[in-house]
Structure 1
Amino acid sequence: MVPASPIPRHLGLDWLRVGAFAILIFYHIGMVFVPWGFHVRLDTVPLVTLPMLASNPWRLLLLFVVSGYATRALATRHTSLLGFVKGRSIRLLIPLVFGIAVLVPPQSWVELVTQHGYDAPFLRFWLHDYFGFRLLAGVSLPAWNHLWFVGYLWVYTVAIALLLAIGGRWGARVQALYDRVFGGIGGLVLPLGWLLAVNMWLFVGQSETHGLIDDALAHALYLPAVLFGFAMAGSHRVLATFRRWWWPAAIVALAAYLLAADLEWRWPGLARGPHWAGLTFSATRAVQAWAAIIALIGVAERFWNHDHPWRRTLTEAVFPFYLIHQTIIVVVAYWLRGTALPLALDAVVLATVTIAGCWAFYLAGRAIPWARPLIGLRPTLRKTP
């Protein structure tokens, strides 16, 4: 069975999703200028790490919470779980396969050329090496790179469908329990306690692999986030709690960010910092993450839950933007390596071309009926004669 009560569209969360994806795009532009691992780098500018830390702990966690809410809303529109899973599979797996086969290969080629001395042209790489299902100079091929989010979301969607199939009759009781546990102070502190446990006890010093099978850390973070958002879609109490506490949460998130930024500036990467600095940094990231999510959902609930002529277009465009943006960033950054432009101009060119390229990709794909499913859009409905 599927959840019976229809979930109204939350326009505030639509705006929040658009904003979160916009931040993600600019975050990946920033990756070209920081010492963290990325497919291509123009130069290292340590100061760029500080604004990136402002969204680093919460941007993906928030997207999974919002995706959980959207999953619940979509599930209520289907008469069967099979129809729900089929619909989500079409919307997620077709773009994922298209992305792995067509959109991601330029990223892998640029990484091999710039970091591993690979000298074959792109067409030869794509036709002869990319689909080899092996490691090439330490790079796994084929790859899904930034599209791991899509794959994980599909897996979590199937997991939710299985839970509904097995225990759907207990849904009302589970929802009532969720409301009691998270509808007040529990919604503020219990998820934070879990994040602290993950960061400081269960997975100390570990990083996400985005390899699905060997990525227990990511699943410990993102699967609970999706489930939380799924249940939040049916809970007025949790949304009211976030609405009430958004401004204290925003202050806490800002204070935690400032402390984390100070630690990062003193000991870049925390590699040579004292032990206490690493523990403090992990704790502040957890606090910042959940406090920021409370604040942002609370703001969306209180101030942004209204429509605008641009909302429909932007909410439709964010997924195609997500699919293509990193490929544009990597390819343009690779081209900029040979221009000797000032770094500030590099950043302007990179941002401008990325935004323009994303719009071109979306508008072109939207206008071509057979291309719409490839970029995650619904097929154009045929007009009745």
Structure 2
Amino acid sequence: MLDNRRYDIDWLRVIAIGLLVIYHIAIGFQPWGVFLGFIQNSETVEWIWTPMAMLNVWRIPLLFFVSGMGVYFAIQRRDWKALLIERTKRILVPYIFGLLAIVPLHVWIWKNYYHQDMEFALSPMHLWFLGNIFVYVLIFTPLFFYLKKHPNGKFQQIMSKLLSHPAGLLLLMIPFVAEAELLHPDSFEYYAMNAHGFWIGMLAFLTGFLCVYSGQAFWSTVTRWRWLMLAIAATLYTLRLLEGEFIAPLYLKSIESNLWIFTVFGFGHRYLNKPSGALTYLSQSAYPIYILHMIFLYLASWLLFPLDMPAPFKLALVILLTFIGCFAAYELVVRRIRFVRPLFGLKV
């Protein structure tokens, strides 16, 4: 079983969070952005939704996969009490703080922009997946520590043998396909605060843990077959693109989602599993930046959208200002003020 630090998984978490921020920025340039609670520019940039539609089927499940993998590594150094204490500090405290302090700020900016009534209903908004992850930790802690006590038991041997062959990856997809078909969500790509998001997140979290638990077999398989999986995922995406409005049966979207994720793990394991100074900094800053980013996204939108300038230029400026604001807040406040650090999941 693996117990060394996996830099590729750290990189993928950083990349996934960065893509989520850009995804949220892109929503403000779509004709339906305001209906999802985003400040919407009067002129749209609809072409950007072509790459975003590719990301949309796997961006959130990837985070849950990575979170499950992270728990595997965490329990190698902790007992169950230490894990729950650590995850409470890392996830629950920032979730509650964000619910009470971060979300109301960007909701206030939205309401101010649209001259809405300033009444506010408590909601996790973009932090919803933190609550889900904490629930998954509570649910699966007994199972995870049971598996930890049996590192080379029959189940681990079965998983290792299963995932040593690409057919094993197909078997991993079956629960995801079943989830999509049984719940039949109105939109496969909409995960926030609904049953589809909860169950697909739970499956991804558990599967991520089991993939690492299986040993080297999973990583060897996704690395060996990464190009074929990329080709199939790209083909399924192209079919959605040609169909118009990126429509496809739910089971095909589920398969495409998993293929993209396994492809990302394969390329990540091949090229990203090495330390770097940039990774050290970004792996610390990514989480606080995600918690903060909606404030700076909404501020940038509030400032720029009324101005008379081309929409693509606004898009570039919103991306730039959002990241500058996030990194400045992290560097000048979150990282340096001792009592603020735990509110964003950082150690004191």
TM-score under structure 2 length normalisation: 0.90
Q: Aligned pair in 2 of structure 1 residues 188, 167: CA closer, same or farther (>3 Å)?
A: closer
Alpha-carbon offset, residue 16 of structure 1? 1.4
1:271-309 C-alpha deviation (Å, 9 max, x unpaired): xxxxxxx5x353442232111111110111112111112
8 Å CA contact 1:39–1:108 kept in 2: the answer is: no
Does 2:316 correspond to 1:317?
no
Q: Which residue identity does 1:359 align to in structure 2? A: F
Cα displacement string for residues 20-66 of structure 1 (whole angstroms, at most 9, x for unaligned residues):
11111111110101125242211333322211112111111111111
Report if aligned partners of 1:106, 1:331 keep a CA contact under 8 Å in 2. Answer: no
Return the letter of the residue paired with 1:48: I
Q: 1:18 aligns with which of 14, 18, 42?
A: 14
| Match 2:201 to one of 209, 222, 226 | 222
Tell me the equivalent position of 1:191.
172
2:329 equivalent to 1:361: yes
Paired with 1:304 and 1:166, the residues of 2 have a C-alpha distance of 31
- Give the equivalent residue in structure 1 for 2:212: 233
> In the alignment, what sits opposite 1:58?
58
Residue 335 of structure 1 is matched in structure 2 by 303
In structure 1, distance between residues paired with 2:127 and 2:80: 25
Corresponding position: 1:158 with 2:150? no
Partner residue in 2 for 1:383:
none
Deviation at 1:257, TM superposition (A): 1.4
Deviation at 1:194, TM superposition (A): 2.9
Between the aligned partners of 1:46 and 1:220, the Cα distance in structure 2 is 30
> Which whole-Å CA distance do the structure 2 matches of 1:20 and 1:372 have between them?
22
Say if 1:204 and 1:316 are closer, same or farther in 2 by CA, change over 3 A.
closer
Deviations 1:79-121 (A, max 9, x none): x211110111011111111211111112322444556x524xx
Is 1:98 the counterpart of 2:97? The answer is yes
CA distance in 2, matches of 1:103, 1:26: 19
> Is the CA contact (8 Å cut-off) linking 2:185 and 2:196 kept in structure 1?
no
Greater Cα offset, 51-60 or 335-344: 335-344
The match for 1:298 among 255, 261, 266 is 266
Contact 1:91 1:376 in 2 (8 A): yes
Q: Which amino acid aligns with 2:207?
A: F
Aligned partners of 2:45 and 2:311 also within 8 Å: no
The SS at the match of 1:54 is: helix
Measure how far apart 1:76 and its partner are.
1.2
Assess if the C-alpha contact under 8 Å between 1:58 and 1:290 holds in 2.
yes
Determine whether 1:149 maps to 2:118.
no
The answer on whether the counterparts of 1:6 and 1:76 sit within 8 Å (CA) in structure 2 is: no
**2:28 match: secondary structure:** helix
Displacement after TM superposition at 1:329 (Å): 0.9
> In the alignment, is residue 33 of structure 1 matched against residue 15 of structure 2?
no
Q: TM-score, normalised by structure 1?
A: 0.82
Query: What is the CA distance between 1:314 and its match in structure 2?
Result: 0.9
Residue in 2 that maps onto 1:118: 116
Q: RMSD over aligned Cα, in angstroms?
A: 2.2
Contact 1:25 1:322 in 2 (8 A): yes
The SS at the match of 2:56 is coil
Number of residue pairs aligned between Structure 1 and Structure 2: 340
Distance in 2 (CA, whole Å) between partners of 1:49 and 1:187 is 33
Aligned mates of 2:277, 2:131 — CA distance in 1: 31
Structure 1 distance, partners of 2:5, 2:48, is 36
CA contact (8 A) 2:166 2:225 kept: no
Post-superposition CA distance 1:342-361 (Å, at most 9, x none): 21221122011111011112
Supply the distance in 1 between the matched residues of 2:322 and 2:146 (Cα, whole angstroms).
44
Conserved 8 A contact 2:176-2:203: no
Q: Residue 94 of structure 1 aligns to which amino acid in structure 2?
A: V
CA shift digits 1:145-190 (9 cap, x unpaired): 1101111111111112133467765663432332233332343212
Counterpart-to-counterpart distance in 2, 1:173 and 1:206: 39
Give the secondary-structure state (helix, strand or coil) at the position aligned to 2:283.
helix
Conserved? CA contact 1:206–1:217, under 8 Å: no
The letter of the residue matching 2:256 is Q
* 2:234 maps to 1:254: yes
Identical residues among aligned pairs (%): 25
| Structure 1 position 373, deviation (Å) | 0.6
Question: 1:152/1:85 Cα in 2 relative to 1: closer, same or farther (>3 Å)?
Answer: same
- Seen in structure 2, the aligned counterparts of structure 1 residues 282 and 227 have a Cα distance that, compared at 3 Å, is same
